[in-house]
Structure formats: C-alpha cells, structure tokens
Structure 1
Amino acid sequence: MLLADVVATSEAVTATRSRKAKIEALAAVLSRAAPAEVEPATAFLAGEPRQGRIGTGWATLAKLRPTPAPSATLTVEDVDHALDVLRGTTGTGSTQRRQQLLADLFGQATATEQDFLIRLLIGELRQGALEGVMVDAIAAAANVPAEAVRRAFMLSGRLPVTAAAALHGGRTALATFHLELGRPLRPMLASPADTLDDALSELGDVSVEYKLDGARIQVHRNGDDVHVFTRKLREVTGSVPELVDLVRGLPCESVVLDGETLALDDNGRPRPFQETMSRFGAASAHELLLHPYFFDVLHLNGEDLLGEPLHTRLDALLRVAEEHRVPGLLRPNPTAAAALLDDSLAAGHEGVMVKALDSIYAAGRRGRAWQKVKPVHTLDLVVLGAEWGHGRRTGFLSNLHLGARDPAGGPPIMVGKTFKGLTDELLEWQTRELRSRAVSRDSHTVYVRPELVVEIELDGVQVSPRYPGGVALRFARVLRYRPDKDPAEADSIDQVKAMLPRSG
C-alpha cells in the first residue's frame, strides 16, 4: 500500500464532520492493507507512529525538507521501516545520521506526503478523539462487532495491535486478549453531573466517595514485582518507592488497583496538584511523600474482575486494601450523600464521585455509570495558541486560545480565551512550553500543536457567534495545567454546550 493512500484517507477524514463518512473512509483503506501493513497504517491514521516520538522537532524537519518527489512511490512499509531505523539510531554521531535518514525519507515523498510526515512526526496529527472512530472503522473493515474491538483495545492498550488481530483473526483473535499483569489498562472515566441529587436519582443504587484532587494511578503487583502507571499509562515505578513498598505489603499475591495519589501537608490537607505531579519526574524519590487512595480493584489473586459489578469489586478492595480505600459511603440516602460532599470540600478536595454499584469497569470510556459532582464549574480544554501580553506581561504569552474536543475526531473547536489566573511562574512556564510547540505565528499570536490540556474555572457559557463552536466561556480563569491528561480526555464541544442555560 502506498503512503499516498493513507494520506488521502487522512485528508478525507479531516475534511468531513460526518462520523459515518470518517468510518467508511478509514475502513476502506484498512480493508485493502496487506497483513504487514495493518499495524503501521492504523498507527499513521490514528496520528501516532508505532515507534512513538522519535525525538525530532518541527524546526529540524522544516529545515530538512528536500525537493519533493514528482510522484508517489513510498509505501507504508517503507516509512515504518525508516522510523524503526531512526528510533534505533543513537550514540556518537547519531544526530548527523538521523538527519541523513530523514533527508532520504523526505526525498522520496511528494509535497503532500512531506506535509503529512512532518505533522505525523511532531504529533500534530495525533487526535486522540479519533480513537473511537478508529475502533468502529476497524470493526467495519474486519466485519466484527465494535464491542469486540473495543474490549480488545481496552485490554491491549494498543490500537495497531488490536487492528491486526481483528483483520487477521476476527472475533476469535480478539477474544484472546486478556488483562495482563504489568501492562496498564486505559482508565475508566467519569461524566459531570449537574447536581448531586441528579446523579443519585439517575444511578439509583450507588457508592458515593471523595473526589480527590490528586493524580490518577494504576498499580499492578505480581508477587514482589510492582509497577505503577499514570493516567497516561506512563510507568513511574522508579519515582514512587513508597507506593511500591506499600503495595508489596498488601495481603495478596497479585492485584491491579485503580486510585489516586496525592501529597499532603502537615495538617493532612492536599497540597497543590502540581506538587503531586512533580513527584513523577523528581530527581529524589523522597522529595515529597505520596499517599495512595484506591477506589477500584480490577484483578485479585489470579481472578480478573473487569466484568464484575462495582459492588463485587469494592468487596474485593476492602479485603485487600481497606486502610487505603478512598473515603466514601455505600447506598447513602440523599442527606448522608450531601454531608459527605460537604466533608470532602471541607477537607480540601474537589467534590464527590457517584458510581452505579451494578456497573462494570468500562476502561478508556467516559460513560454515565460514574459521575463527578463538583460545586465549581470547570472544563478541561485544549490550548490552541496564546497572544503576547502587555504591561507587566510584555514578553510573555498570556491570553490563551481554548478549544473543546471534537467528538467526531476533528481538530479542537475554539470556545474562548482567557488570561486570568496566571501567576508569574506559570506565565514563564507557559511561554516556554507554548513556544516549543509553535506551528505558526502572526504579530499578536503564537499558534501551537494541540497537546496541552488546561483546567478552566468559569461561571458558565453563553451562545455566541464569535467562536466556531457557537458558544463562549463566561468569566473564565486558569486553575492549572493538566499534564496527566491528553487532548483525547479534554471536554467535548457537546459537554460545553450542555452548560448553556436551559430555556423555559
């Protein structure tokens, strides 16, 4: 298969808002892929090579662009092999060798293919929201149920591998995927609830627990072998020895735990979120002790619990880690649930989670079975660019352009701007980070790759023709950046519009 076929499909998917049209285009090209082409083609279409980031930035790639090839000859396997070689090129003299390898690759590409490769390699093509569309496209190409593909992807965490299994072996191959100790699963996500009463009414038989202002962790143990992963499935085991020691001491032989960890001050209140996150890259393992709070167990002593209802998983959690269970109540009445919400806020946390006790663990999905109740309106949005500041902010990128996730898999949709809530320290960091992600600029604004997620506090939203999303944020201010979240986990334009005042 020619790379040009993948590029044409990518352009067609970008050009339409129709989910059906996207799925049909993706399924068509995947169904034509040879067995060795399925994994790299899937990875390219999803916007991230199988090799991950190869350590080459936009400036380097832009300088290396040779005269484009007159016609398309590059194959998907040619590009995949070149990226394998690039990934393995290290050591003395590797910079020059890598530049030559890139020049050779780009010299075989047409102008359109060169543009595609640049965006692929710097991460600009990576629209995580496309994952749901890709799952449906893989199912269509392989003529298997989407739920079978979704389950296999949940367990493998690797879309290209899942696609290869579906297209080569169908439902039988997809059914072979299972939870594997040491390989992280994508975390189950929650949807926002309007009020606590609404969540209790909708879900019925529930667990209500603190919503902690910490960092999501997933912990795997097999005997004495322990691995700790972040929300993004990045392993941080070496940075958190206190968590490793604690999990090794639990009364079990094997376990997979889902929870949060956070740093506490001397009064037992949570430290700022950024301080907790700093531990995952800390030079000293004991700079700041982390405390774990678990709220789910997905495997215990050889038994997978993913398909079991939450009440069964919570019983297992109490058996293995009762002392480290996040504070909460089972089947509380509305008065007790409201009191728990007040207690959580008084302790410095964000609110409460309301979870249906009959729900199974839907990894990687944001459904209604888990709902978060917070007294403050917040949105996780993607930074699209920033305007240069004035006055004391001269020389700093200040006014942020904010986008909501497009559930159809397109680029983030702009819904507003804000420069409020930025400390001097955050301005310096923000300017440095945004400049390193710049893709274009004019006299006032630097436009960036849509990679950074920022948590925004706001009074609400209103209808507005000013922005492409048709809505605008009211009195928005920056709470914090969310390095633990990908753009795929940002709030969607539908979630933003759901905050519009109800008429009548």
Structure 2
Amino acid sequence: MLFADIVTASIRMAATGSRKAKIGIIAELLTAAERTELPAVVGFLAGQPTQGRIGTGWRTLAELEVPAATGPRLSVDAVDVALDELAGIAGPGSAAVRGSVLRDLFGQATPDEQEFLFRLVTGELRQGALEGVMLDAIATAAGVPGESVRRAFMLSGRLPATAAAALTGGSDALGEFRLELGRPIRPMLAASAESLSAAIAELGSIVVEYKLDGARIQVHRAGSEVHVYTRTLREITEHVGELVRLVRELPCRSVVLDGETLALTDAGRPRPFQETMSRFGSTRAEQVSQLLLRPYFFDCLHLDGQDLLDTPLAERRSALREVAAEQLIPSTTDPAAATELLEQALAEGHEGVVVKDAGAPYAAGRRGSAWLKVKPTHTVDLVVLAAEWGHGRRTGYLSNLHLGARDPDGGPPIMVGKTFKGLTDELLAWQTEALQEIERHREEWVVWVRPELVVEIELDGVQVSRRYPGGIALRFARVLRYRPDKDAAEADTIDTLRTLRAE
C-alpha cells in the first residue's frame, strides 16, 4: 500500500464531521491493506506509530527544508522501516544520523505526505478522540461485533494488535486476548451524576466509595515481581518503591488491583494533586521520604490465577477484602449511609463519592453508567488549545487559556471558552514554559499549541452561545489544576458539556 493512501484517507476524514463517514473511510483502507501492513496502517492513522515516540522534536523537522517529491512513491512499509531506524538511533553522533534518515524520508514524500509525516513524528497527529471511531471501523472491516473489538483492545491496550487480530482471525482471534500479568489494561471510568440521590436511584444495588483527590494506579503482581501503572498505562514502578513493597507483602501469589494513591499531610488530609503526581517522575531519596504515597484500592481484577473482570463488583470486592483489607477505600453498601459518607469524604478534603452498580462487571476503557461520580461542584476536563500573553502583573506569562472539549466523532477538540481565573503565580510560570514546548504557531498575542494538555476546570455550567463552534460557552470557568495523569483522549466530550446547559 502507498503511504499516500493513508494521507488521502486522513484528509478525507478531516473534511467530514460525520462519524459514519469516518468509519467508512477507515474500514475501506483497512480492508485494502495487506495483513502485514495492518499494524503500521492503524498506527499511522491513529497518530500512534508502533515504534512509540520517535525522539525527534518539532524544531529538528522544521529546519529540514527538504524539497518534496513530485508524485507519491513511498510505501507504508518504507515509512515503517524508516521510523524503526529513527527510534533506534542513540549515542554520540545520533543527531547527524537522525538528520540523514529524516532528509531521505522527507525527500521521497509529496507535500501532503511531508505535512502528515511532520505531524506523525512530532506527535501532533495523535487524536485520542479517533480511538472510538477506529474501533468501530475495525469491527466494520472485519465483520465482527464491536463489543469483541472493544474488549480485545481493553485487554491489549494496543490498536494495531487489536486490528491485526480482528482482520486476520476474526472473533476467534479477538477472543484469545486475556488479562496478562504485567500488561496493564485500560481502566474503567465513571460518568457524572446530577446528585447522590439520582445516582442511587439509577443503579439500585450499590457500592458508594470515596472519590479521592489522588492519582489512579493499577498494580500487577506475579510472585515477587510487581509492576505499577498510571491511568494512561505508563509504568512508574521504579518511582514508587513503597507501593511495590506493600503489594509484594500482600497474602497472595498473583493479583491485579485498581485504585488510587496520594500523598497525605501529617493530619491525614490529601496533599495537592501536583505533589502526588511529582512522585511519579522522581527517584530522589529526599522527595520520596517526604512524600510517601498511600494506596487505596477499590477493585480486584485478578487473584491467584483467576481473572475477575466478568464477575460482579460485589464478588470482586470480596476478593479485594481477602487480599488488601487494610488498603480498602472507605465505602458503604447501605444507601441510607451514603449521604454521611459523602459529607465525611468532603470534610476530609476529598472530591466526593463514586456510586457503583454492585452487579456490574469491569468494563475497562469505557465511561458508562455503572460508575457515577458525585461532586458538589461542576468540574470538567478540557484540552488546552492556545493561550494569550498576559497584561499588567501577568506580562511575560501565558495567561488566558483557550479551552476545547473532545469531539466524540474523532475530529479536533471543539473550542468552548477561555479563562485566566484560578491561575496561581506558580501555575502561570509552569504553563508558560510547558505550553511553549508544544507550540504549533503563534500570532501577535496568542500561542497555539498541540492539543495534548488536559486541565480541570470548575464552572457554574454552560450557556448557549454563537461565539464558539460548539454552540455553547462556559459560565464562570476557573482553573483547578492540570491533569498530567490524563491525555486528550480522556477529556470530556462536547456532548457531556451540553448536558450542563442551562435551560
């Protein structure tokens, strides 16, 4: 297959807002691809090459200035081989070698292919919102149920592997994916509820748990080997020795636990979220000793050789109590005690509670109605699209943020408002540096960035507005914090925001 076929499909998808049309375009391309090409084709379309991050920055590519080819001649395999070579370059003289490989690759590409390659290599092409569309397209191309594809992806965490299995072996191949110790699965997510009473009424038989102001973790243990992962499936084992030691001492041979971790003050209250997240990238003994992490587990997905994903939550909680009772998150199964638990969680400095269907299986990677979060204030996770240079006291800092909601149909984020409220001096300094590192281009006072950073916004709701493309605007929005534990694929959708619209 020519690389130009992928580029053309990408251009066609960008030109339509129809989810059905996008699915059809991708399915057509997947059907036409050779089976050996499938991992690369899927990776390129999703902006997630199988090589991972290539290690080549925006400035390196911007300085190439290589004349484009007059016609398409690059194959998918040729691009994949070049990216393999780029990913493996390291050591003294690597910059020169990388430049040579890039000039050769870009020299064989047409203008459209060069633009696509630029965005692919720098990570700018990555569209987390395309993930759901891609899964539906794989199901369509392979003629298999969408649920089979989603489950295989949940267990593998890899779109290319899921597509290859579906299109080469159908439902039987997809059914071979299993929970594998040491390979993280995508976490189950919670939707928002209007109120505690509404959540309880919707779910019936329930479990109500603290919603902590911490960071999501998933731990795997096989014998003495322990791995710890974030909600984005990034491994942080080497940074969280106290969690590794704790899990290694649990009374079991093998286990997979889902939960949250956070650093606490001497009074037992949660430290700021950023302090907890700072531990995920630090091995400095001083910081580790000052910010010990406390785990709270709320689910058990595997125990001593038995996978529990498809069992009801009530049974998974029994397994959890058996193996990690001392680390169990505060909870109740009594609806009459739910209000008291919510008040207790808020009094201790946490965000609220999560109400869960006690009979539901673990639906990883999906934000369904089986888990409903209840918080006293409206908060949404949005993507930063741009920022404006500040004035007065904020001169020299990127201040006013342009915010976008995720397009559930795979398009780019949809702008829904701006805000400069809630930004501390420390956060201003940090975002000024961080946003310039992912800069796409700038105008007189606006710096446009790749849509990667997720920020948690508190708001009073949304209102109908013609000012922004989504037809709504945020009301009294203020920044609570950045969410480095989330990527753009986990931002709230425009549909979610529309449910907050004042009538």
TM-score tier after normalising by the smaller chain length:
over 0.9
After TM superposition, the structure 1 = structure 2 runs for residues 87-98 of structure 1, keeping only pairs within 5 Å, are 87-98=87-98
Residue of structure 1 equivalent to 2:306:
303
Confirm or deny that 1:375 pairs with 2:376. yes
Tell me whether 169-178 or 277-286 shows the greater mean CA deviation: 277-286
Structure 2 counterpart of 1:97, which letter? V
Q: Is the partner of 2:300 in helix, strand or coil?
A: strand
Aligned sequence identity (%) = 66
Confirm or deny that 1:235 pairs with 2:235. yes
Residue of structure 1 equivalent to 2:129:
129
Q: CA deviation at 1:48?
A: 1.3
After TM superposition, the structure 1 = structure 2 runs for residues 409-488 of structure 1, keeping only pairs within 5 Å, are 409-488=410-489
Q: Is the partner of 2:20 in helix, strand or coil?
A: helix
Q: Is the Cα–Cα contact under 8 Å of residues 209 and 354 in structure 1 kept in the other structure? A: yes
Residue of structure 2 equivalent to 1:364:
365
Structure 2 counterpart of 1:375, which letter? P
Confirm or deny that 1:323 pairs with 2:329. no
Q: Is the partner of 2:456 in helix, strand or coil?
A: strand
Q: CA deviation at 1:172?
A: 1.3
Q: Is the Cα–Cα contact under 8 Å of residues 452 and 481 in structure 1 kept in the other structure? A: yes
Q: CA deviation at 1:441?
A: 0.9
Consecutive unaligned residues in structure 1, runs of 5 or more: none
Q: CA deviation at 1:143?
A: 1.1
Give distance in 2, aligned partners of 1:386 and 1:459: 22
1:85-104 C-alpha deviation (Å, 9 max, x unpaired): 00001111011000110010
Q: CA deviation at 1:65?
A: 3.2
Confirm or deny that 1:208 pairs with 2:211. no
Q: Is the partner of 1:294 in helix, strand or coil?
A: strand
After TM superposition, the structure 1 = structure 2 runs for residues 123-202 of structure 1, keeping only pairs within 5 Å, are 123-202=123-202
Q: CA deviation at 1:283?
A: 3.0
Give distance in 2, aligned partners of 1:112 and 1:274: 40
Q: Is the partner of 1:455 in helix, strand or coil?
A: strand
Confirm or deny that 1:293 pairs with 2:278. no
- Could you list the runs of 4 or more consecutive aligned residues of structure 1 that deviate by over 4 angstroms after TM superposition? none
Q: Is the Cα–Cα contact under 8 Å of residues 209 and 331 in structure 2 kept in the other structure? A: yes
Give distance in 2, aligned partners of 1:221 and 1:336: 34
Q: CA deviation at 1:390?
A: 0.2
Q: Is the partner of 1:23 in helix, strand or coil?
A: helix
Tell me whether 57-66 or 91-100 shows the greater mean CA deviation: 57-66
Q: Is the partner of 2:359 in helix, strand or coil?
A: coil
Structure 2 counterpart of 1:359, which letter? A
Q: CA deviation at 1:178?
A: 0.3
Q: Is the partner of 1:113 in helix, strand or coil?
A: helix
Q: Is the partner of 2:89 in helix, strand or coil?
A: coil
Structure 1 counterpart of 2:421, which letter? K
1:343-394 C-alpha deviation (Å, 9 max, x unpaired): 0000100000000011111111110100000001111000000000001111
Q: Is the partner of 2:260 in helix, strand or coil?
A: strand
Please report the RMSD computed on the Cα atoms of aligned residues, expressed in angstroms. 0.8
Q: Is the partner of 1:218 in helix, strand or coil?
A: strand
Give distance in 2, aligned partners of 1:354 and 1:405: 25
Give distance in 2, aligned partners of 1:437 and 1:236: 23
Q: CA deviation at 1:146?
A: 1.1
Q: Is the Cα–Cα contact under 8 Å of residues 238 and 283 in structure 2 kept in the other structure? A: no
Give distance in 1, aligned partners of 2:426 and 2:54: 30
Q: CA deviation at 1:21?
A: 0.5
Tell me whether 285-294 or 4-13 shows the greater mean CA deviation: 285-294
Give distance in 1, aligned partners of 2:46 and 2:367: 19
Consecutive unaligned residues in structure 2, runs of 5 or more: none
**TM-score normalised to the size of structure 2?**
0.99
Q: CA deviation at 1:315?
A: 0.7
After TM superposition, the structure 1 = structure 2 runs for residues 40-79 of structure 1, keeping only pairs within 5 Å, are 40-79=40-79
Q: CA deviation at 1:120?
A: 0.9
Residue of structure 1 equivalent to 2:219:
219
Tell me whether 137-146 or 375-384 shows the greater mean CA deviation: 137-146
Residue of structure 2 equivalent to 1:394:
395
1:252-300 C-alpha deviation (Å, 9 max, x unpaired): 0000000000000000000000000000011325241000000000000
Give distance in 1, aligned partners of 2:10 and 2:50: 17
Residue of structure 2 equivalent to 1:258:
258
Give distance in 2, aligned partners of 1:283 and 1:145: 45
Q: Is the Cα–Cα contact under 8 Å of residues 65 and 107 in structure 1 kept in the other structure? A: no
Q: CA deviation at 1:22?
A: 0.6
Q: Is the Cα–Cα contact under 8 Å of residues 65 and 106 in structure 1 kept in the other structure? A: no
How many pairs are equivalent? 500
Q: CA deviation at 1:168?
A: 1.0
Q: Is the Cα–Cα contact under 8 Å of residues 9 and 25 in structure 1 kept in the other structure? A: yes
Q: Is the Cα–Cα contact under 8 Å of residues 65 and 114 in structure 1 kept in the other structure? A: no
Give distance in 2, aligned partners of 1:497 and 1:172: 40
Q: CA deviation at 1:440?
A: 1.2
